[in-house]
Amino acid sequence: MMLKIWVSWLMIMLLLCSIATAIAQRPAGSKPGCRDKCGNVSVPYPFGIDDRDCAENEDLYLNCSQSDGDDPEKLCFYNFPLLNISVLEGSMIISIPTSYDCYNQSGLLSEVPCIINLERAPYTFSDTQNVFTAIGCDTMAFVSNEEVTYGAACISLCNETVSLADNSSCSGSGCCQTSIPKGLKSLYISSMSLQNHTNISDFNPCGYAFLADKRSFKASDWQLSGWPDGNVSDVVIDWVVETKTCEQAQANTSSYACSNNTNCSENGQGYRCECKDGFTGNPYLSPGCQGNLLLRLSQT
């Protein structure tokens, strides 16, 4: 008798445990009735595709380009491929072309800067997740806003080739790095040389400059001897749901984006929503974040 009760209790606990796990692992999710993926990239609410009503507002309505022959569906942000959206961190990852300048013994061959303007209000280049990086042996690289009124630079020099290993420090020989200013909404990146790669163009014809996601940047992906050929880098963009302060947003309950059991969080550009401690789910979707009572039960 006791054993029977104990066994059924155990069964219930196991069931609760699996439900709790399912809730905890549930992806952020799209608005009901809306497609939650473009190609293999998840599109969680407050973002949306296909229909303007699938997104919280116009600024978060994204373009999913239709597949075209062998080209699979692609999620686009401006004209750049969007690779990942995180509701938890209020960020996303896009892929952008690198800036470069190339030389041979006779001098400059080509020079391509990179200019991006996120005029759409709720986006900034993440200063905490990105690191500005330059690759080259005669390379002075520069990053700023489009108007070139604030920014940073780094210089990398070498007189012989160095191999860029993942544990190399990118501290100025073959590779240099620096952080970017907070709140950048446009980007102007260019690389130039001090001596036209004189005496080094055999092993290093080009200098490169780009922003890179700290978490995925690998120096070993780059070769000093490489020529540009569609080289891209992953860049982290921070987003907010609206460019208002929490106080301003909460003043109008019908337009406030955060659902039940959430906190409002500000980053200087606007606000976004987070589940309260101990709650999980998509903080922008009704009915809001869910308490993890089951999770707590199953852990006892």
- List residues binding ligand NAG (CB under 6 A): 39-41, 63, 65, 72, 83-84, 104-109, 135, 159-160, 165, 167, 195-196, 198-199, 208, 222-223, 226, 228-229, 231, 252, 254-255, 259-260, 263, 274, 276-277, 286-288
Nearer to ligand NAG, 84 or 243 (CB): 84
Read out DSSP for 176-214?
EEE---TT--EEEEEEE-SSTTTTTTTT--EEEEEEEET
Please state the closest distance from residue 151 (CB atom) to ligand NAG, in A: 23
Nearer to ligand NAG, 160 or 247 (CB): 160
204, 102 contact by CB (below 8 A): no
First to last CA, the chain: 24
Q: How far apart are CA 250 and CA 254, in angstroms?
A: 9
Dihedral angle sign, alpha carbons of residues 255, 258, 259, 261: negative
What is the three-class DSSP state of 222? coil
Nearer to ligand NAG, 118 or 135 (CB): 135
Please state the closest distance from residue 125 (CB atom) to ligand NAG, in A: 18
> Comparing C-alpha atoms, which of 63, 45, 42 is closest to residue 54?
45
Please state the closest distance from residue 63 (CB atom) to ligand NAG, in A: 4
Nearer to ligand NAG, 178 or 260 (CB): 260
**Quick one: which H or E segment has residue 256?**
none
Q: How far apart are CA 180 and CA 150, in angstroms?
A: 10
Please state the closest distance from residue 124 (CB atom) to ligand NAG, in A: 19
Q: Show the tokens assigned to 197.
A: 């790669």
Nearer to ligand NAG, 25 or 167 (CB): 167
Specify the DSSP class assigned to residue 67. P
Q: How far apart are CA 223 and CA 133, in angstroms?
A: 14
Comparing every residue's Cβ against ligand NAG, the nearest one is 226
Read out DSSP for 162-185?
----TT---BSSEEEEE---TT--
Nearer to ligand NAG, 72 or 268 (CB): 72
Query: CB neighbours of 257 closer than 8 A, spacing ≥ 6?
Result: 46, 56, 241, 242, 249, 271, 273, 284
Nearer to ligand NAG, 182 or 276 (CB): 276
